[in-house]
Amino acid sequence: MKLSIACFFAAILGSLFTLWMTGPDRFSTASAQQSGPKLPRLDLPSTPRRIPAPLDRDHLSEEEAINVAIYETCNKSVVHITSRGVEVDNFFFAEVREGDGSGAVLDSSGHILTNFHVIEGAREVRVGLYDGSSFPASLVGADPISDVAILKIEAPRALLFPVILGDMSELQVGMRVFAIGNPFGLERTMATGIISSLNRTLPLRGNRTVRSIIQIDASVNPGNSGGPLLDSKGRLIGITTAIASRTGQSAGVGFAIPVNLVTRILNDLLQFGRVIRPESGIQKVYETEEGLLVASLTEGGPAEQAGLRGPRVARERRGPFVIQKVDRLAADRIIGVDGSPVETADDLMSYLDGKRPGERVVLKVVRDKTKIDLPIVLGGDDPRRGRLPE
């Protein structure tokens, strides 16, 4: 009798173990791009939604109640983006690539905010809403440099719950954050954490870097890209975009594109499908207590033509070798632009991004302990006026 019972339980445990080991594999990755109509404006919500009072939930701790309230209020704003594309190898063999990503509803007209790399290269993109419905998406505008894209779906307004845009200037290291997305295709998963650091730089496309990146310790994984990063009031403060990991999965170091960058480029993406950027020729600066120290300039660019100075480079021959010495402290320090002080790289970038190619700005710099003004005519191209000389 005892032997029969033991064999019975052993058979059950063996079956459960087999089911666990042979469970379905649901994980896949890919990227996408589409073309579509460009719309003139966003239909943003007029009044912010209210987060339920956390103390109304007597059976929860205050921290748990906040978590629950954030999720209940904001999860319907999160979408599941699936993409299909065709990749051709060197032998002209075509392979269909599929993938998952996340996004957020921007307005009740169906504009969706996500990362560019989520939809890069795709021929078909679909957006899944909280109720399980799915809609084909068209691309309104994209900016590979900042890794931001705007999609458009034709969905009933009753199914669209727009996020509320926050402000990065209010953020501090240590503040709680909430990331909602679709890691490994698991829809509307929430992870919590804190802001680990601010003003990180992240290389995203070529030699360009995105500044003012938010570093978080909330668990993010493949599939979270493009999803909203929220503060404790349920406001969108960033777009989850990357992780630092040697395994491809969360190691507690995640990065998000700040919402202020998104709001700066929204109008261009809606009107032109891309961001119209002026070219200053200032490639990199270091933030110091005495201003922005110029680290590198574009050769022949507007800043160099205007006389802005980068590090002094001296070459000295020692036998068969040439030794290069770089004096970074000899470079100019930018302390203002058009009469307004600048203290951070984001201050300067934000101001210049608000200008158009061909416009003139005046930099105030410190050179050899003397303040001087340097007028610069910004280069770049403007679709309304054509290419401008740099």
Positions marked catalytic: 117, 147, 225
Of the CA atoms within 13 Å of residue 347, those in its CB half-sphere come to: 16
Tokens representing 226 are 């493009």
Name the residue with tokens 């002209």: 92
Q: CA 229 → CA 188, 212, 214, 297, 376, distances in Å?
A: 12, 15, 10, 34, 37
Contacts with 380 (C-beta within 8 Å, 6 or more apart), sequence order: 276, 277, 278, 279, 357, 358, 388, 390
Structure tokens at 133: 């419905």
- DSSP string for 137-174: -EEEEEETTTTEEEEE----GGG--PPEE--GGG--TT
DSSP letter for each residue of 31-94: ---------S-----SSPPPPPPGGG-TTS-HHHHHHHHHHHHHGGGEEEEEEEEEEE-TT--E
Task: Kindly tell me the burial class for residue 28, based on how many C-beta atoms sit within 10 Å of its own C-beta (0-12, 13-18, 19 or more).
Answer: middle
Contact of 75 with 188, CB cutoff 8 Å: yes
Residues 6+ apart with CB under 8 A from 114: 81, 101, 102, 103, 104, 148, 149, 151, 225, 226, 239
Picking from 261, 292, 296, the residue whose alpha carbon sits closest to that of residue 277 is 261
Whether the CB-CB separation of 156 and 250 falls below 8 Å is answered with: no
Do 180 and 227 form a contact (C-beta atoms < 8 A)?
Answer: yes
